[in-house]
Structures are given as structure tokens and as C-alpha cells.
């Protein structure tokens, strides 16, 4: 993922400028002070870059689910023993969910009112299987 982040920053000079400006505002040129928890919370644009890269290049391109009993899903009756494959890459690039889905745009995440449609951004899974280590992963 880091290589994709570097690629997009290198190919989008305005994004790079905004990212460096945010870092400079938070650290005030102090390159040796330890990073604090508050610093992580304040690096909103850096987080937006990570989320946007993860939207374009998800770590997992698909997710498998198995049902062990009959269920109704999306208006259809499914028998027990069915395996479903969710195409995360397709969900992250669907026009119904994202404005200009093929465009790298970390600014979409900066709007205070922006919230991806339910289950349209699956960086760390969804529902009961949401990754418990997602906060640590974002810090890394």
C-alpha cells in the first residue's frame, strides 16, 4: 500500500503540497520530537490520502462469506452452504456510490458532511467482522 501512496503523491503535486503543509503546520519544523496521539488525530489530510488510495487499490480485492443456514439476502432466498464473494474493488469504483470513482481525490474525504454510503468503503471489513486492528493499521 505504501508504494501506491508514494506513487499517487508523486503524480499529484497539489496533493503533495497539501500533505506537506499539514505536516508542517502540526510539527512546526520540529523534526525530532516524538509523534503524539493528538498528532495522529490532526493529520486529517494524510488520513484522507490513505483512505483514497485504499479505495482505489483495496488491500483485499474480494471478501468471502459463507452461510450455514438458509437466509434471505437482497430479496432472494439462499440455501445453506452458499459461498458469496464480494468484489470490493468493484464496490469502491461504483458510480452509484462515488463521484468520479476513477479519479484520485483525497479531498472527497475532507468534507465534514461526507460519509460513504453504507458498505461502499470496505477498507477494514464491515459489520461484525470489522477489523479490530484498524486503528493500529492506520497509525502504521
Which residues contribute to the annotated binding site for heme?
A: 131
Letter string b/e over residues 81-106, b meaning 16 or more CB atoms within 10 A of that residue's CB: eeeeebebbebbeeeebbeebeebbb
Known binding-site residue numbers: 131
Closest CA to 139 of 31, 3, 16, 41: 41
**Residue 19 half-sphere exposure toward CB, CA atoms < 13 A:** 17
Amino acid at each position: 500500500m505504501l508504494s501506491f501512496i508514494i506513487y499517487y503523491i508523486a503524480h499529484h503535486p497539489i496533493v503533495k503540497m497539501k500533505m506537506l503543509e499539514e505536516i508542517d503546520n502540526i510539527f512546526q519544523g520540529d523534526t525530532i520530537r516524538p509523534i503524539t496521539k493528538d498528532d495522529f488525530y490532526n493529520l486529517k489530510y494524510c488520513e484522507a490520502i490513505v483512505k483514497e488510495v485504499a479505495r482505489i487499490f483495496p488491500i483485499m480485492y474480494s471478501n468471502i462469506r459463507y452461510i450455514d443456514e438458509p437466509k434471505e439476502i437482497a430479496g432472494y432466498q439462499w440455501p445453506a452452504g452458499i459461498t458469496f464473494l464480494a468484489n470490493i474493488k468493484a464496490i469502491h469504483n461504483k458510480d452509484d456510490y462515488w463521484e468520479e470513482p476513477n479519479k484520485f481525490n483525497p479531498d472527497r474525504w475532507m468534507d465534514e458532511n461526507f460519509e460513504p454510503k453504507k458498505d461502499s468503503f470496505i477498507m477494514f471489513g464491515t459489520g461484525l467482522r470489522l477489523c479490530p486492528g484498524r486503528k493500529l493499521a492506520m497509525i502504521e
